[in-house]
Structure 1
Amino acid sequence: MLQFIKSASNFNGIFFASIALVYLYACNAKANTEGAGAPPPPALPVIALQAQDVNTFQEYTASLEGSEDIEIRPQVDGYLSKIYVDEGAWVKKGTPLFAIDSRRYSEALNNAHASLKQAEANLESADINLGKIEPLVSSNVVSDVQLKTARANRDAAAAAVSQAAAQKEQASINLGYTLIKAPADGYIGRIPYKTGSLVNSSNAQPLTLLSSVKEVYAYFSLSEKEWLQFSQRFPGNTLDAKLKQVPPVELVLADNSVYPQKGRIETVNGVFNNRMGTISLRAVFPNEGGALRSGSTGAVRLPRANDDAVVVPQEATYELQDKVFVFQVSDSNTVTGKAISINAKSGNYYLVNGGVHAGDKIVFAGMGRLQEGARITPEIISLDSILQSNPLSKK
């Protein structure tokens, strides 16, 4: 019995001792928690925005054509007797290109020449006859009717000479058409016909296409909205005056390289394409070296000056519901989300015309950890250092 009481007493002591230990641990944990305090604000890079004069570019898909794309077609019928050039050859104006069998046209010219000689002989005979009759009429040897007949015969003979001369000239022209020459300098296109082919002016395909490419036209289109913005950007009371103010444009080739020579916008189509809602413009580029060919494609790049544009690095932004935001840092180092209005892009930068201003401070990186109204510890980074590593195109 005494042993049982002793065991119970030992159990009660252990129980109360355990409770005391738990209580002391809880008190110490609470004291440690109260003494630790809130974590410090996160340290994040911050930049001060600046205004810059920046040139940006807008690219528009363009098709290239030679300043003169000339269809070479036969003007007389016949068989091709010779082809003097090959596809892709560069030729000068007057270079022989094709020859059509000329034998029947030579014979036609010979016949026309003979007809002219016969008509001239008839005219000479009519002149002689008229010269004999005129004095006889004045002497009343022959009647006046014979004189009028002789004069009419002489006039008919003169008309026959004119007709024969015209026929000879036409025959000579037709013979000349059998040798087809280049009407301008340029490159020879595809030649779908071979020696011996029968050709005529009504063939569906031309003999070839001659592209004069000393200058190349680049045709591109603007939407109605883009055209209004474009035309309002330059001073002038007339369209010609405005086009003279447009700076030189660049041509981006199919391999994304930039053509070394700049061009100019020369003309604008007079009407909009109602189906596409666009208007066509033509830029002209020099092509003395012949690097550009008719039928190729590229993109016309229009420069646009952005004066005093607020520059915002794209990595300092985030998107929410189709809008672009930045975290602006206040004087108390709290952040506020600001929607920005983007006017243009230049490389990895937005050019902003609303939402933030030059001198405002924004968070440059680490936005994924931020919430509206959060406090940060700013670590100032110079925007100039960022622009040096990834520069803008300045005026």
Structure 2
Amino acid sequence: MKMPAHRTRLSDSAITRIKNSLGEKMLYFHVKRFILLIITLFFCVISCEQEKAPAEKIIRPVRYEQVFLQGGSRVRTFSGSTRSSEESWLSFKVGGTISKIYMQVGDKVQTGQVIAELDPVDYRLQEQRSSASLDQAKAESRNAKANYKRIRLLYENNSTSRNDLDRARAGDESAQAAMHAAQNQLELSTLQLSYTRLKAPTDGAIATVSADVNENVQAGEPIVQLISTSGFEVNVAVPGALISKIKEGAQVKVIFSGISSGKEFTATVTEVGVASTGIGTTFPVTVVLDQKDPEIASGLSVEVAFNFESSDKRERYVVPSFAVGEDQDGRFVFVVKTAGNHIGTIERKAVEIGELTADGIEIFDGLEDGDNVVTAGITQIRPGQKVKFK
């Protein structure tokens, strides 16, 4: 017999409760979603309203070369300053406490003149101990020598053994060696005592005093700076385009604008730099004054005049070939117009070029004396752009 299927039927109230529960859950879900949306929109609005910090403008570095007319005979002047041909920091060879300083800044000194002294007590006592040690070593040496002579006579008369003779000879030689060592120690102690006095190695003037009385200093620590007044030299920076025309031994003129209404002196080129200094491709050149004058001192501003002569009478500029560019308007170079603080502005100059030489490409028109022609970074700059240089 087949059993009837049982069906479970929910009452109307149960169905109502289930619907109410589902409705509350859906409402909670939508409210939560709405709140998250409001919070997200709030932060988006805040972030959009905030002012963006302006990006720092990049100032590109460039390298330039200062150019001058070449060909014919021309005089070029370059600024520099005088300095003593001999400048040295003087120091004690031993350490100790400074007891006296006899010189002040600006004082003139002569060779051998005492400039400062250390307290010599410790070094004098050391010298006395070394002297006493030497006296003792001399006495022992005399005694050992006399003993050796006595033993040698006994040995010659067959009154003592060979071992006694060897011992006496060794004692004599050892005593003599000890005496020589004591003599060297005394000489060293005497030298160290003399080192407590700082003397001028040459005639000159005191430029700087960097220590005080009662100050404890170490050996080699600078005490005073001495500048020699026997001669002066001038250092100038010469552009790379001209450095090959300057030779050691060449004669130049040095003009002092600050003394005696612009005195002129002759000078000799003694050093020509082989490596550029700074981003401006300049080379150091040193000239030494041929005359002496009591008005000349270190630190004076001067102008050094170089005479450049050439068999080629046509005037021109010479720049590296890669410094010349070309566009639809023709050939050009970029020139830096300096504005101070190592910042400048790029200017485009149209040029008329000549032949390509071993030194660079010739330019007959478009440049002026002293123009700073850009030689590196050309592809990344444009007229009016600010650049930095050293």
TM-score of the aligned structures, taking structure 1 as reference length: 0.57
The yes-or-no answer on 1:159 pairing with 2:177 is: yes
Matches of 2:272 and 2:310, distance apart in 1 = 24
Deviation, 1:296, is 4.5
Alpha-carbon contact 2:266-2:291 (below 8 Å) kept:
no
Aligned length: 257
Alpha-carbon contact 1:187-1:211 (below 8 Å) kept:
yes
Deviation, 1:59, is 2.2
Q: What letter matches 2:223 in structure 1? A: L
Residue 106 of structure 2 is matched in structure 1 by 88
Matches of 2:150 and 2:91, distance apart in 1 = 54
Alpha-carbon contact 2:256-2:262 (below 8 Å) kept:
yes
What are structure 1's unaligned runs of at least 5 residues?
A: 1-53, 232-241, 312-320, 325-338, 346-395
**Cα deviations across residues 270-312 of structure 1 (Å, max 9, x unaligned)?**
444486533221100146334333345433222345899899x
**Cα deviations across residues 221-272 of structure 1 (Å, max 9, x unaligned)?**
22322213x24xxxxxxxxxx534x333223456896343221212223444
Matches of 1:306 and 1:225, distance apart in 2 = 14
Residue 261 of structure 1 is matched in structure 2 by 265
* Alignment root-mean-square deviation, CA: 3.4
Q: What letter matches 1:243 in structure 2? A: E
Matches of 2:257 and 2:240, distance apart in 1 = 25
Alignment of 1:104-119 (within 5 A): 104-119=122-137
**In structure 2, do the counterparts of structure 1 residues 221 and 293 end up closer, same or farther at CA, with 3 Å as the change threshold?**
same
Residue 211 of structure 1 is matched in structure 2 by 227
Alpha-carbon contact 1:214-1:286 (below 8 Å) kept:
no
Matches of 1:340 and 1:136, distance apart in 2 = 105
What are structure 2's unaligned runs of at least 5 residues?
A: 1-71, 316-347, 352-362, 370-390
Equivalent position SS for 2:86: strand
**Cα deviations across residues 152-185 of structure 1 (Å, max 9, x unaligned)?**
1111111111110111001110111111110001
**In structure 2, do the counterparts of structure 1 residues 247 and 141 end up closer, same or farther at CA, with 3 Å as the change threshold?**
closer
Identity over the aligned pairs, expressed in percent? Answer: 23
Residue 212 of structure 2 is matched in structure 1 by 194
Alpha-carbon contact 1:249-1:302 (below 8 Å) kept:
yes
Matches of 2:114 and 2:95, distance apart in 1 = 18
Alpha-carbon contact 2:253-2:266 (below 8 Å) kept:
yes
The structure 2 residue matched to 1:249, chosen from 218, 228, 253, is 253
Residue 16 of structure 2 is matched in structure 1 by none
Alpha-carbon contact 1:252-1:301 (below 8 Å) kept:
no
TM-score of the aligned structures, taking structure 2 as reference length: 0.58
Alpha-carbon contact 1:217-1:282 (below 8 Å) kept:
yes
Matches of 2:297 and 2:273, distance apart in 1 = 23
Equivalent position SS for 2:125: helix
Matches of 1:182 and 1:129, distance apart in 2 = 51
Matches of 2:153 and 2:280, distance apart in 1 = 83
Alpha-carbon contact 1:223-1:278 (below 8 Å) kept:
yes
Matches of 1:307 and 1:342, distance apart in 2 = 23
**Cα deviations across residues 330-383 of structure 1 (Å, max 9, x unaligned)?**
xxxxxxxxx9859997xxxxxxxxxxxxxxxxxxxxxxxxxxxxxxxxxxxxxx
Residue 152 of structure 2 is matched in structure 1 by 134
Equivalent position SS for 1:294: coil
Matches of 2:122 and 2:164, distance apart in 1 = 43
**Cα deviations across residues 103-152 of structure 1 (Å, max 9, x unaligned)?**
11111111111111111111100000001000111222211011111111
* Structure (1 or 2) with the greater helix fraction: 1
The structure 1 residue matched to 2:237, chosen from 221, 225, 243, is 221
